[in-house]
A and B are shown apart, each in its own frame.
Chain A
Amino acid sequence: MSETVLESPKETRYLLDPAARRSRMIRRTVLLAVGLIATFLLPWMIYPPVAMDIAAWALFAISVDLLLGYTGLLSFGHAAFWGSSAYVTGLIAIKSGLPFPVAILGGMLAAMIIAVPIGWLSVRRAGIYFAMVTLAFAQMIYFVANQWKDVTGGENGLQGVPSNFFGIKLVESDSFYFYYVAVLLIILGAWAAWRIVHSPFGRVLQSIRDNPARARALGYDVEKYKLAAFVLSAGLAGLAGGVFAISHGFVSLQELDWTTSGKVVLMTVIGGMGTLWGGPVGAALIVLLEDALATSGFDGIGIITGSIFIVVVLLFRRGIWGTATLLIEKARKAIVSRKRS
């Protein structure tokens, strides 16, 4: 019974109405198909390393959305997981020469391990405190990486991260083919996020977001659920960070910097939080914008992204994806009501 109590009214509509369920099924399949086609066409349309950047940032943004949009926690320190995974992935790849998916898996695990103590401390605070505390802990990781020069290379970073892949030269040296292998990891991560959000566990997270007191009263250990969401999210951020490290062939302190945490929050909010699709849209927009500005020689990216962000927060808080779905929904309702009359 408690499961149905937690369902939002929208869900009960799908539960009771098979027609609505069918149309949602169709909608989801079409979206998935469009998303996958776009993912596979991307390196044909733009420079493959930029396509890879978009994919990595997209998963990073999804990981932030898992917390922000579905658990109601704004993490401003996710660079800690993206960056530490990038370093661990790079180190494994350099020292052992293992195939890159294995190195990335190692980086992802490292990010999740780091997330346990940080999350355990951070989930004790909610709302704005959570944002500030995660920010501060991420900065702590940054200082550790900066000081631990023997391992991380300090200011120089890690150079020459190989992308070994079972000796298949095409993948190892051509960024076009590399994309198609690495993007599978990203899709796997995005699929995991989708599964998490639509599982009973994900429902509990959303109930915590909407009404933590009620979730607690229903017997859910809110802190434990938040911590689990935090660690899972860190794992996805780590997966994305590992792919990013291999794709670039080097890791710098920038990956751990708080501006990286800020950038991914920016992407998530611009794309639309609580939508899962919003993150990739925001990531594509910001990466392409930065790429275009860099090639045109404009050196004030923050002026543009900062202004866009201010406008989105002021006027389009649903983000691009959220605003678009709202408009489509409105148009659909208008058409239906006109047909009836």
Chain B
Amino acid sequence: MGGISVHPLETQENRDMEDFIQYTVQGLSAGGFYALAALGLAVIFGALGVVNFAHGACYMLGAVGAAVLLGTFNINFWAALVIIPLLMFGFGVLIERLLIQWLLRLDILYNFLLTFGLALLLVDLVKREYGVSGLPYEVPPGLEGLVTIGSVSIQKYQLFVFAFSVVICLAVWLLLTRTRVGMIVRAATEEPERTRALGINVGRWVTPIFGFGIALAGLAGVLAAPFRAITASMGSNFIIVLFAIVVIGGLGSILGAVVAGFLVGLVEAYGQAYAPSFSQLVIFILMAIVILVRPAGLFGRRQEAV
């Protein structure tokens, strides 16, 4: 005790700094879920022109799926991290073939409404099947507890989520910018007619891209499973924040989705720490400012604003 009380002010400052670093890591890990899911939303919007209202429900399905895999089949977190995105990919392909594709030529609002109906359906189906109380899930072995860097203690799992989501975002980025597949997807997004004229079957890419976007939402759900309450309605608030994120980042922009995802994660974490009653409000105030100052979003192109 005596040693610490010699420099009380400095210790207090250090502690504030440590807290700040902890909140930052917390925000970056929450931002990881947001970035992954928003990336999926952006990819789907880019390629299909569909704003997927069921994205929050897909995130929820990812988390519930991970819990069911563990609870019923005793399949652990690491396997779920691979299995769930694959299942969600299949689910996305199915949804696109059965429902989405019929409305692609119509006003964008119709698919928005359709996926809203789908979200209602999915949430209540899960609610009926698994009830309203949370499903249990634990932090996977090896990632529990804290890791101490210098004098700061940080939850291992939060660091993992941050690192993992950055890696996935980078991988998607490289896939889209450095490969032939990515080139086709971007071309099909920006100028579908000309891409078709160049002899590329654009329609063939639409379904897998939708599946891919849904898989990203599912992946975000699996990552969230160990430290969020797994309930049928966990996606309901998530989707609203996702919408705010894509408005902030610029709906067509992939980079915008990722950057705004992490940004909103940080804003939320600092808000919870320093102004608990306003934590959720801050996100929407941020959104209002972006609409006023840069209507197309931070990374959006002007023509996409209308």
Contacts and interface: CB of A to CB of B under 8 A. Distances in A.
A306 B236 contact: no
A128 B110 contact: no
Nearest to A68: B109
Given A314-B99, A314-B103, A144 B247 contact: no
B128 A309 contact: no
A276 interface: no
B168 interface: no
A265 B236 CA distance: 17
Contacts of A109: none
Contact of B247 (A133, A262, A303, A307): A133
Contacts of A269: 113
B114 A136 contact: no
Contacts of B292: 121, 124
A105 B306 CA distance: 35
Contact of A300 (B110, B114, B128): B128
Interface stretch (B118-126, B147-155, B197-205): B118-126
Interface string B244-260: 10110001000000000
Interface residues of B, number: 45
Interface string A33-77: 000000000000000000000000000000000000000001000
B100 to A, nearest CB: 10
B116 interface: yes
A74 B109 contact: yes
Nearest to B122: A306
Given A139-B284, A303-B121, A314 B116 contact: no
Contacts of A200: none
A302 interface: yes
B120 A309 contact: yes
A160 interface: no
A150 interface: no
A127 B124 contact: no
A196 interface: no
A129 B117 contact: no
Given A121-B288, A300-B125, A128 B112 contact: yes
A147 B278 CA distance: 8
A137 interface: yes
Given A124-B291, A139-B240, A300-B128, A131 B123 contact: no
Contacts of B306: 125-127
A132 interface: yes
Contacts of B118: 306, 310
Interface in A296-341: 299-303, 305-310, 313-314, 317
Q: How large is the interface on A (under 10, 10 to 19, 20 to 34, 35 or more residues)?
A: 35 or more
A302 B118 CA distance: 9
Interface in B114-141: 114, 116-125, 127-128
A307 B246 CA distance: 27
B23 interface: no
A131 B112 contact: yes
A127 B109 contact: yes
Contacts of B128: 299-300, 303
Nearest to B108: A128
Nearest to A132: B243
Given A310-B99, A314-B99, A133 B287 contact: yes
Contacts of B103: 313-314
Nearest to B123: A302
B280 interface: yes
B74 interface: no
A194 interface: no
B236 A258 contact: yes
B82 to A, nearest CB: 30
A129 B247 contact: yes
B113 A313 contact: yes
B305 interface: yes
A140 B284 contact: yes
A259 interface: yes
B63 to A, nearest CB: 18
B110 A136 contact: no
Contacts of B123: 302
B5 interface: no
B303 interface: no
A143 B117 contact: no
A267 interface: no
A259 B235 CA distance: 12
A262 B120 contact: yes
Interface of B: 51, 99, 102-103, 106-110, 112-114, 116-125, 127-128, 236-237, 240, 243-244, 246-247, 251, 277-278, 280-281, 284-285, 287-288, 291-292, 295, 305-306
Task: List the 7 closest pairs (A to B, CB-CB), nearest first.
Answer: A302-B124, A306-B121, A306-B120, A309-B117, A302-B120, A140-B284, A132-B243
8 contacts: A129-B251, A133-B291, A136-B240, A136-B247, A139-B240, A303-B124, A306-B117, A310-B117
